[in-house]
Structure 1
Amino acid sequence: MMTFTTSGRGAVHIFVTLLALALLSSCSGRTNPPDSGVSAQPEKAVPVKAVRAEERAIDRRVEIVGTLLAEDEVVVSSEVEGVLDRIDVDLGSFVRQGDLLAQMDQREFQLQLEQAQAALAQARVRLGLRAGDSDEIDPEETPLVRQARAAYEDAKSKYESAQKLYATGDIAEQRYIEAEKTFKAREAAYQSAVYEVRDQRAGIRRLRAQMALAQKNLADATIRAPLTGSVAVKHVSAGEYLKAGAPIVTVVKLNPLRLRADVPEPYAASIAVGRPLSFTVDALSHVTFQGRVTRLSPSVNPETRSLTVEAQIDNRALKLKPGYFARAEIVVQPGSKAVMIPGSAIVSYVGLNKVFIVEGGRATERRIKLGTRTDDWVEVVEGVRPNELVITGNPSRVRDGQLVEVP
């Protein structure tokens, strides 16, 4: 008998060789002969939903922030000095224009009016005026002037006769001088009466002005709302002694409101009066409100590089309040053309946006740049052309180059 002896390394080498031959034989055994009739499975198309990109006219907008302001805010003050008898409103009270807000003590003002009325009546009686007569009476029509004129004309007639008689020597010089003195005295008295009547007429005008002032003071003792709105601040309480000009309440007008905001300088030239805007406020975040630009600042703020604009906001429902912070979008390019696709077609990942376009029956990946959003559609600034077919149904499950089928 012959015996073979191998080392450990030789045994490993033999084992590896035998294993390789076995694998090769196995692969050869599974190879189909050319005439077996078996072929590879064809690629199956994946059904997808898709829509065509549309070219639409949209209103390009810029996002801004601002504050709601009252259309008017009035500090209602006392126009007369005195004791505040009553105040009928408080913080938050809704008032209409003309409603009673407060009342000063009227007794002193009523007495001042009665005093002025009595003084005026006395002056009219002194001038000989009856009820219904105009204050601007002709001085010649007053009793005082008529009496003085009659005496003057009598003295004038006698003086003229004395002149003639003295010229012919029929009267003494002494009588002529007396007639002349009497005439001049009556003339002066007549002129004085005319001046006195004119002075009395001026006095009547002064007394009538004093009466009107007393009437105004009495009316001013009643404080009424200058506009329709709500009381924002109550400054005083009943019983306080107020100086003229002391604030009583602050009333703000709640409809309409103003939205004041700053538009960045690059968009300033695109803003015009009448442009629509929409905005939301934190207190009513689920509601979008509308307005229109009504005022533009004549200059750009050099510190903020922005243009201040104001929009008028209809607040008839009184849902909005002055002071609310607003986030707004204002139209800067109305009717601008844009390529739009549904938002469901967009796949976003780590800051990149892409879509899948159906080309030649296969999905083609495109990176895109987005623009304005309108409802469920989004503007594609770059990456998609109008009328291209965009996959919308679960685009995140589609692979680039995958065979797809659009029902």
Structure 2
Amino acid sequence: ALRQTEAQLGIDSSRGGQIPPDDQISTVRTATANRDDARAQLARAQDLVSKGLMSKAEVDIVETRTKVAEAAYQAAIENVQALKASLQDRKAAFELAKKKLSDTVIRAPVEGAVAERPIQRGEYIRENTPVVTIVRMNPLKLKTGIQEKYTNLIRENLSVDFMVEPYPKEMFHGKIAFISPAVDQSTRTFAVEILVGNPAHKLKPGLFAKGSVLLGRDSNVLAVSEDTISNLAGVASVFVVQNGVIKQTTVETGEHDGKLIEVVSGLKGDEVLATSNLNELVTGTRVVTADDEVDPPAADAPSADGQGRGGRGGVKRAAEGRGAQ
């Protein structure tokens, strides 16, 4: 119907689809030509009557034809106006039909994966019925709660390191994107959201994570391997090797970064430390280190199979938390 109306109005879609003026539409042009011809014939008839060359009856016929042509012209104008009005209605109906056709194809508003599809193919459904559940895979949002004592330290864009159970040896990273302005009265924590890049889709929505917010990095910090620390009844100590003899030394530990532990006090940084068989060592035990070129100890004597040195480097300060993605 729309294309038919456009054809009647002489609309050429290849030229922009503009509606031509009324006097250029074919039906109006035809009616105009017939009207002008009738008027010309009436003028000639009236001239012949004045000269006595045409009867009054013949003039009446010409006048009637002129009135018919005038009426046909007016009808053509009114028909064009009606077509123009109906054209707008048909365009609106056409656009609505296009939209309904487009709505038959379901398009996801975001990129992601289908987590649930409760509707089967061929099933009849009503409007506003959920058909699929889409989860966005990249980036993911990690939600967690941090203790209120860190309120003055946590800020946006701080780095976050965390691990998940499916990949126990892999560390994932993100940045804080949102910090709740209020503290939960029941848990005494405040909510934090971390954006996590997940281009390989290794992380799955719903996984639980354990990690820490990196508050800063301290430089020139004395740190030792976690293998050299012995904890007994809450007291940390190391076994220093001096001239092949063990000396147990109590130390105060600080931050834990990977396999390194910060030593706040108790060591100078140039000591040689035992790294294995710590439960068999006591002060005064003689041991052989890898650098000693002496005979091995007796079979029943305790020994340290490895050694390590304290050193200075950078240690990260962190606030720990647990969360779910």
TM-score range normalised by the length of the shorter chain: 0.5 to 0.7
Match of 2:312 in 1: none
Post-superposition shift, 1:331? Answer: 0.9
Instruction: Give the distance between the partners of 1:287 and 1:360, measured in 2 at CA.
Output: 37
Indicate the SS of the match to 2:120: coil
Match of 2:5 in 1: 123
Match of 2:189 in 1: 305
The 3 A distance-change label for structure 1 pair 395 and 240 is: closer
The 3 A distance-change label for structure 1 pair 264 and 193 is: farther
Contact 1:339 1:380 in 2 (8 A): yes
Match of 2:173 in 1: 291
Aligned-residue Cα RMSD (Å) equals 4.3
Matched, 1:207 2:121: no
Post-superposition shift, 1:324? Answer: 0.9
Instruction: Give the distance between the partners of 2:259 and 2:114, measured in 1 at CA.
Output: 43
Instruction: Give the distance between the partners of 1:385 and 1:202, measured in 2 at CA.
Output: 94
Instruction: Give the distance between the partners of 1:345 and 1:231, measured in 2 at CA.
Output: 49
Indicate the SS of the match to 1:214: helix
Instruction: Give the distance between the partners of 1:253 and 1:385, measured in 2 at CA.
Output: 50
Give the residue type in structure 2 aligned to 1:391: L
Alignment of 1:198-347 (within 5 A): 198-224=81-107, 227-282=110-165, 284-297=166-179, 299-303=181-185, 304-316=188-200, 318-347=201-230
- 1:244-282 deviation line (CA, Å, top 9, x unaligned): 222222222323322222222333443344433332223
TM-score by length of 2: 0.62
- 1:308-349 deviation line (CA, Å, top 9, x unaligned): 122213241x33221111111221113454221232332321
Indicate the SS of the match to 1:278: strand
- 1:55-113 deviation line (CA, Å, top 9, x unaligned): xxxxxxxxxxxxxxxxxxxxxxxxxxxxxxxxxxxxxxxxxxxxxxxxxxxxxxxxxxx
The 3 A distance-change label for structure 1 pair 193 and 308 is: farther
Give the residue type in structure 1 aligned to 2:212: E
Alignment of 1:382-401 (within 5 A): 383-392=265-274, 397-399=281-283
Match of 2:304 in 1: none
The 3 A distance-change label for structure 1 pair 195 and 331 is: farther
Indicate the SS of the match to 2:132: strand
Contact 1:275 1:293 in 2 (8 A): yes
Instruction: Give the distance between the partners of 1:344 and 1:291, measured in 2 at CA.
Output: 26
The 3 A distance-change label for structure 1 pair 385 and 137 is: farther
- 1:111-145 deviation line (CA, Å, top 9, x unaligned): xxxxxxxx112222332446646243223422455
Match of 2:236 in 1: 353
TM-score by length of 1: 0.51
Indicate the SS of the match to 2:93: helix
Indicate the SS of the match to 2:98: helix
Instruction: Give the distance between the partners of 1:338 and 1:236, measured in 2 at CA.
Output: 60
Indicate the SS of the match to 2:83: helix
The 3 A distance-change label for structure 1 pair 287 and 359 is: closer
Instruction: Give the distance between the partners of 2:121 and 2:250, measured in 1 at CA.
Output: 72
Bigger shift: 345-354 or 193-202?
A: 193-202
Give the residue type in structure 1 aligned to 2:126: K
Indicate the SS of the match to 1:247: coil
Alignment of 1:41-52 (within 5 A): none
The 3 A distance-change label for structure 1 pair 347 and 338 is: same
Post-superposition shift, 1:233? Answer: 1.4
Instruction: Give the distance between the partners of 1:239 and 1:356, measured in 2 at CA.
Output: 74
Contact 1:127 1:200 in 2 (8 A): yes
Indicate the SS of the match to 1:222: coil
Give the residue type in structure 1 aligned to 2:197: I
Instruction: Give the distance between the partners of 1:320 and 1:246, measured in 2 at CA.
Output: 29
The 3 A distance-change label for structure 1 pair 353 and 195 is: farther
- 1:17-65 deviation line (CA, Å, top 9, x unaligned): xxxxxxxxxxxxxxxxxxxxxxxxxxxxxxxxxxxxxxxxxxxxxxxxx
Post-superposition shift, 1:294? Answer: 4.9
Indicate the SS of the match to 1:270: coil
Instruction: Give the distance between the partners of 1:252 and 1:213, measured in 2 at CA.
Output: 31
Contact 2:137 2:198 in 1 (8 A): no
Give the residue type in structure 2 aligned to 1:399: T
Give the residue type in structure 1 aligned to 2:133: T
Instruction: Give the distance between the partners of 1:121 and 1:342, measured in 2 at CA.
Output: 82
Q: Note the residue ranges of structure 1 that are not aligned, 5 or more in a row.
A: 1-118, 159-181
Between Structure 1 and Structure 2, whose CA radius of gyration is higher? 1
Give the residue type in structure 2 aligned to 1:260: K
Indicate the SS of the match to 2:2: helix
